[in-house]
Chain A
Amino acid sequence: MKKLALNGAGLLVALFAAFPVYWMIATSLKPNREIFSATPRPVPAEPTLEHYREILTGNLIPGVTFLDFFLNSVLVAVATVLLSGLVALLAATAVARFRFTLRTSFLILLLVVQMIPLEALVIPLFLMIQRLGLYNTLPSLILTYLGFSLPFAVWMLRGFVAAVPKELEEAAAIDGASRAQTFRKVLFPLVAPGLVATSIFSFITAWNELIFALTFINDQQKYTLPVAMTFFFGRDDTAWGSVMAASTLFTLPVIVFFLLVQRRMVSGLVAGAVKG
């Protein structure tokens, strides 16, 4: 009896959590007459890919399709990931491998800057982007997202670096390897999985961001996907099939990436709090 109640509650929670995602995908596969029918069907009766075809081939503005926005987003996110990964790896190595005077101060700095409300930085960063002549360019976003993703990336990566046994590097050093060689041939390959996990978080940060992309980009063909979605789909409230198809294409990569690394997220955010 008690077990039944627990399982029932579990199903309710699962339904509440997963339903919107299911509903997004289901709607994207329904023909318009099912979407706008008086009685919604829980499952598409005649699934169709017409909405996907529509958004992938149709021009949102002359000469620009959904794919162009998708590519803008990929470009920005990938550039952010590469830069932030490289810089974070150097910093994480410093923190995890060396004991130096300002180490604790740096760790506190990392924690504090993660708490700066990025929403409060839109105006000064807009000023900076204007002054640098980067307004209306994708690099303005890459630069911004690099700053946003870096503190968490270092925080997360330092755990991975610390987990590599120091003896391996010492052995390499004794065998005559220089510090650069040790870094490249010993530490880097062992930290690579952690670097991938960290990169995914930077990717998601850049991929999902809306406010700054909304503010720094003016030309429609340079829009990233989130801006394009609020701009083109926010106006015409009736095209729910296309909106849901676009949302699905935007969401799926994030969900896949996210599920790969979510365990790290908890340990990264609550730091030492849940250590056994």
Chain B
Amino acid sequence: MTTLTKATDEAAARENPARRPRRKVDRLPYLLLLPCLAIIAVLLLWPLGQVVMMSFYKLDSVRQLRGDREWPWVGLANYAQILGDPFFRTVLRNTVLFAVANVALTMVLGTLVGLLLNRLGKKMATFVASCVMLAWATPALTGTIVWKWIFDDTSGLVTWLFNKLPDGLSTTLFGRSDWTGYGWFNDPLLFFGILTLVVVWHSFPFIAVSVLAGLKSVPSELQEAARVDGAGPWRVFWSVTFPMLRPVFGILVVLSTIWDFKVFTQQFVLAGGTQDRSTFMLSIYSYAEAFSPPPKYGLGSAIAVILTVILLVVTALYVRMVLRQEDES
């Protein structure tokens, strides 16, 4: 303790000789937090405010950002322009459908794998878990590049596989037998399908490992008892396992929703940039409006704000859930 605080403590003790010196407010924790708070404020909160502010201006050149030119205030014009644009509605629909489909698929696959890992023998479980971990650890960037190679239109594995199909079958099913040169990424629906595959491949491991951790933390006797009583796996899951792990599932769904709503890297790499507008989702749309020439930073900001507001609602749910659990444990 510094001499200064000691002196004031002594002064306080003299004033109330009967009482022990009152404990001073300790400034140390605030000092320790200061750098962290400053960084969060400057690099996360301030920009968050800035993006809202920028969405009210017409910003069409880097010079304006540098401060060399005026910022014309346009009020809600950027929002009016976006919300009135049918293309925005398409993008929003794509984003929501993509997020819903990916969260559902990731949760189902992840949960099944988690349950499976719990049932496998020790050696097998370790082996499968290690493989699953590989998919998780792979950076989004290189994971996507490899999938792009697997779907390459000449030497890709999938092209080869479809060429292997009996010609008759392939023609009846898909109307073609020669798949060499087939552009897997040209049809938007197929593009989203492959994007879903890439994203689910990358995100199911986290769900699987979390579900497994959850399963290990609850007593398995209940499930066994239910099984002995003749309940099938479906029944055991919904009547015994799921209710016990409900908090875990809640958090996992919210986290997945947040992640799948703002997929960027995979989309960017798979589409080879921001040229293909038919496969846009909110985050890449915002980026393309702002940074593809001609730059429209104000418009891009408005889209970013809309994305943020959607995620904010989901986040509010998440925080409430985590806090409730911190209280319980």
Give A contacts to B, CB under 8 Å.
3, 6-7, 9-11, 13-18, 20-21, 23-24, 27, 35-40, 87-88, 90-91, 93-95, 97-98, 100, 102-103, 106, 108-109, 111-113, 115-117, 119-128, 130-131, 143-144, 146-148, 150-151, 154, 179, 204, 207-208, 210-211, 215, 226, 229-230, 233-234, 237, 240, 243-244, 247, 250-251, 254-255, 258-259, 262, 265-267, 269-276
Does B132 touch A at the CB level, under 8 Å?
A: yes
Residues on the B chain within 8 Å of A128, using CB: 46-47, 50
Residues on the B chain within 8 Å of A258, using CB: 133, 136-137
With A36-B154, A120-B308, A179-B28 known as contacts, the answer to whether A211 contacts B315 (CB < 8 A) is: no
Query: Is the beta-carbon distance between B132 and A113 smaller than 8 angstroms?
Result: no
User: Smallest Cβ distance from B159 to chain A, in angstroms?
Assistant: 10
User: Smallest Cβ distance from B313 to chain A, in angstroms?
Assistant: 11
Query: Is the beta-carbon distance between A121 and B44 smaller than 8 angstroms?
Result: yes
Residues on the A chain within 8 Å of B264, using CB: 119, 210-211
A16 to B30, CA, bound (A): 49
With A125-B47, A271-B325 known as contacts, the answer to whether A131 contacts B33 (CB < 8 A) is: no
Query: Is the beta-carbon distance between A87 and B39 smaller than 8 angstroms?
Result: yes
Q: List the 6 shortest-distance A-B pairs measured between CB atoms, nearest first.
A: A147-B43, A124-B50, A258-B137, A91-B36, A124-B47, A94-B32
Does B134 touch A at the CB level, under 8 Å?
A: yes
User: Smallest Cβ distance from A135 to chain B, in angstroms?
Assistant: 9
What is the chain A residue whose CB lies nearest that of B32? A94
Residues on the B chain within 8 Å of A131, using CB: 65-67
Query: Is the beta-carbon distance between A147 and B44 smaller than 8 angstroms?
Result: yes
| Option from A6, A88, A102, A270 in Cβ contact (under 8 Å) with B120 | A6
A130 to B290, CA, bound (A): 15
| Option from A18, A91, A125 in Cβ contact (under 8 Å) with B135 | A18
| Option from B116, B269, B312 in Cβ contact (under 8 Å) with A9 | B116
Query: Is the beta-carbon distance between B40 and A94 smaller than 8 angstroms?
Result: no
**Which residues of B (252-280) have their CB < 8 Å from a CB of A?**
252, 255, 258, 261-262, 264-265, 268-269, 272-273
Q: Is the interface of B mostly helix, strand, loop or mixed?
A: helix
Query: Is the beta-carbon distance between A90 and B35 smaller than 8 angstroms?
Result: yes
Query: Is the beta-carbon distance between B328 and A272 smaller than 8 angstroms?
Result: yes
A207 to B62, CA, bound (A): 27
User: Smallest Cβ distance from A10 to chain B, in angstroms?
Assistant: 4
| Option from B43, B125, B247 in Cβ contact (under 8 Å) with A273 | B247
Query: Is the beta-carbon distance between B307 and A120 smaller than 8 angstroms?
Result: yes
A111 to B44, CA, bound (A): 13
Query: Is the beta-carbon distance between A115 and B36 smaller than 8 angstroms?
Result: no
Residues on the B chain within 8 Å of A38, using CB: 160
A173 to B114, CA, bound (A): 47
Query: Is the beta-carbon distance between A121 and B51 smaller than 8 angstroms?
Result: yes
Residues on the A chain within 8 Å of B117, using CB: 10
User: Smallest Cβ distance from A185 to chain B, in angstroms?
Assistant: 17
User: Smallest Cβ distance from B163 to chain A, in angstroms?
Assistant: 8
Q: List 27 A-B contacts (CB under 8 A).
A: A7-B121, A13-B113, A14-B132, A21-B138, A21-B146, A35-B155, A36-B154, A90-B33, A95-B29, A98-B26, A98-B28, A100-B30, A112-B315, A116-B308, A117-B261, A117-B307, A121-B47, A121-B304, A127-B297, A128-B47, A131-B65, A150-B36, A243-B145, A247-B146, A251-B142, A262-B137, A262-B209
Q: Is the interface of A mostly helix, strand, loop or mixed?
A: helix
Query: Is the beta-carbon distance between A262 and B32 smaller than 8 angstroms?
Result: no
User: Smallest Cβ distance from B161 to chain A, in angstroms?
Assistant: 9
What is the chain B residue whose CB lies nearest that of A234? B272
A36 to B322, CA, bound (A): 51
What is the chain B residue whose CB lies nearest that of A208? B139
User: Smallest Cβ distance from A198 to chain B, in angstroms?
Assistant: 13
Residues on the A chain within 8 Å of B236, using CB: none
User: Smallest Cβ distance from A35 to chain B, in angstroms?
Assistant: 6
With A9-B116, A40-B160, A109-B40 known as contacts, the answer to whether A20 contacts B201 (CB < 8 A) is: yes
| Option from B141, B149, B290, B311 in Cβ contact (under 8 Å) with A117 | B311
Interface string of B111-126 (1 = CB under 8 A from A): 0010011011100110
Query: Is the beta-carbon distance between B50 and A127 smaller than 8 angstroms?
Result: yes
| Option from A93, A124, A144, A251 in Cβ contact (under 8 Å) with B138 | A251
Residues on the A chain within 8 Å of B36, using CB: 87-88, 90-91, 150, 154
Does B213 touch A at the CB level, under 8 Å?
A: yes
Query: Is the beta-carbon distance between B43 and A210 smaller than 8 angstroms?
Result: no
A60 to B42, CA, bound (A): 36
**Which residues of B (160-206) have their CB < 8 Å from a CB of A?**
160, 201, 205-206
Residues on the A chain within 8 Å of B145, using CB: 229, 233, 243, 247
Does B318 touch A at the CB level, under 8 Å?
A: yes
Query: Is the beta-carbon distance between A17 and B131 smaller than 8 angstroms?
Result: yes
What is the chain A residue whose CB lies nearest that of B63? A130
With A120-B308, A250-B139, A251-B139 already in contact, 13 other A-B pairs whose C-beta atoms are closer than 8 Å: A17-B205, A20-B143, A87-B35, A115-B314, A123-B300, A130-B62, A130-B66, A146-B43, A150-B39, A210-B140, A271-B325, A272-B326, A273-B322
